[in-house]
Amino acid sequence: MSVRADAETLRSIPIFAECDAVHLQLLAFSAVRQDFAAGDVIIKQGLKGQAAFLILNGRCDLSSEAESRIGAAGPGALLGAVSMIGDSLYPLTARAAEPLASARIDRALFMRPASEYPEFGAAVYRALARKLDGSLDDLAAVRSAVDIPVLRKDFIVDRYQLLEAVTAGADAVLLIVAALDGRLSLIHI
């Protein structure tokens, strides 16, 4: 596939939909091609995520420790997206069901254009925040149902989100320092 085609594939993923084509082409050009044979593990549940994998062709089976098979993914799927932004564990296992080609997007690779082109990073973070929209309602419901500390586990990138978390009843928030890019002092309460 060409860089332009890979960039269009990235654009089809909701978290990249609002990104400028030039930034997506830069990301696609920099991504490392990685092929997997049938049966190879692409990501493994519980391991620390180091990269996201954009499936270019082929299919993989998705599984969790609780269930042997929970689904499948094919071309255009982005596995381990949160790993591009910060330290997290892969939430599931993806195993190639057939020969599979992917574009590997390491955290450093993603963070470079996100820091050099703030509009690119802002577009991705906005999309991730929308993906998690409604989580404040869920947080408030959980807060009213339990007597244990409640964590807001969203992409907190500004002070307003901290205030939202406190208002919704959070006892703690998760900050992905790599995503803050030196703005940590701007979000203190």
Provide the sign of the torsion angle of the four alpha carbons 28, 61, 64, 128, taken in this order. positive
Closest by alpha carbon to 50, among 103, 114, 105?
105
CB 154 within 8 A of CB 127: no
Cβ distance 72 to 62 under 8 Å? Answer: yes
Per-residue tens of pLDDT for the chain, all 189 residues = 588 888 888 888 888 888 888 898 888 888 899 999 999 999 999 888 889 999 989 999 998 887 787 888 888 888 888 788 777 788 889 999 999 999 999 988 888 888 888 888 888 877 776 665 556 666 777 777 777 888 777 666 666 677 777 777 888 887 766 666 555 555 555
pTM: 0.68
CB-based contact 3:29 (threshold 8 Å): yes
pLDDT reported for residue 187: 52
Phi, psi of 179 (to 5 degrees): -75, -20
